[in-house]
Every structure is written in structure tokens, then in C-alpha cells.
């Protein structure tokens, strides 16, 4: 039975472990994780490598590893999940 949030929505899809593939696995590891933990690990990587634009922290500046995931030199934090989803199975 799925866990329900206070809103009554089914949250089991968010908690389902997914396996990072390809360039995403190089950043967060290849073991299955819930989507939220994958995103958190990507943010940890971004902060540890100082990859946020100094004038606009919503913009992520891709290094060599993130460029393989994003397919471009920078993206916004709002676009990031779209790119990450491509590499979760």
C-alpha cells in the first residue's frame, strides 16, 4: 500500500528507487535511489564544485560531468529535473 501525504496524493512513485544511468551515475553513483535523493545528490555535487552562477544562484554552470547530463553549458534549476529524468530507469 502506498504512503499518502497530507494532501492525499499517492507518493509511492516519488519513493520508488530508480537506477541512475550513464553520465548521471558518474555523479550520484549507480545504486538505486528515490528520485528525491538523486536530486539532492546532484545539488550536493553542484554546491561542492561551486557550479552556481554567482549573480543568479538559480543558474547551474555545467562542468564536464554535468554537461554530459544537461547537454549544454548551463541550465536553470527548474530545467534540471527534466535532464536528470532521462538517466533514471
Residue 54 domain flag: yes
Q: What is the pLDDT of residue 64?
A: 97
Name residue 59's beta-bridge partners.
Answer: 76
pLDDT value of residue 52: 98
Note down the domain range covering 57. 19-85
Give the closest residue to 43 by CA, choosing from 54, 32, 57, 56.
57
For residues 41 and 27, the answer to whether their CB atoms sit within 8 Å is yes
Whether residue 35 lies inside any domain: the answer is: yes
Burial class (CB in 10 A: 0-12, 13-18, 19+), 24: buried
pLDDT for the residue numbered 14: 74
Which SS3 state, helix, strand or coil, does residue 18 take? strand
Q: In tens digits, what is the pLDDT along the chain, a chain of 89 residues?
A: 455 555 555 567 778 999 999 999 999 999 999 999 999 999 999 999 999 999 999 999 999 999 999 999 999 999 999 999 999 99
Task: Evaluate whether residue 59 is within a structural domain.
Answer: yes
Global pTM reads: 0.83
Residue-level pLDDT at 1: 47
At 72, which CATH number?
Answer: 1.10.245.10
Amino acid at each position: 500500500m502506498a504512503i499518502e501525504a497530507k494532501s492525499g496524493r499517492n507518493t509511492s512513485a516519488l519513493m520508488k528507487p530508480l537506477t541512475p544511468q550513464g553520465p548521471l551515475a558518474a555523479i550520484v553513483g549507480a545504486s538505486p535511489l528515490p528520485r528525491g535523493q538523486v536530486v539532492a545528490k546532484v545539488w550536493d555535487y553542484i554546491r561542492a564544485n561551486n557550479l552556481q552562477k554567482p549573480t543568479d544562484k538559480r543558474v547551474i554552470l555545467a562542468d564536464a560531468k554535468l554537461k554530459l547530463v544537461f547537454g549544454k553549458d548551463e541550465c536553470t534549476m527548474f530545467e534540471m529535473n527534466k535532464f536528470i529524468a532521462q538517466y533514471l530507469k
